[in-house]
Amino acid sequence: MPVKSAPKKKVSKSDSYECQACGLVVSVDEVCDCVDVCDIICCGQPMKRKEVKAKATKK
Provide the minimum distance between the beta carbon of 47 and Zn ion in the complex, in angstroms, as a whole number: 7
Q: Is 22 in the site for Zn ion (CB under 5 A)?
A: yes
In sequence order, the 6+-apart residues with CB closer than 8 A to the CB of 18 are 24, 25, 47, 48, 49, 50
Among 25, 43, 48, 50, binds Zn ion (CB under 5 A): 43
Q: Is 28 in the site for Zn ion (CB under 5 A)?
A: no
Counting Cβ atoms within 10 Å, is residue 47 exposed (0-12), middle (13-18) or buried (19+)? buried
Q: Tally Cβ neighbours within 10 Å of residue 9.
A: 9
Provide the minimum distance between the beta carbon of 44 and Zn ion in the complex, in angstroms, as a whole number: 8
The binding site for Zn ion (CB under 5 A) comprises: 19, 21-22, 24, 32, 34, 38, 42-43
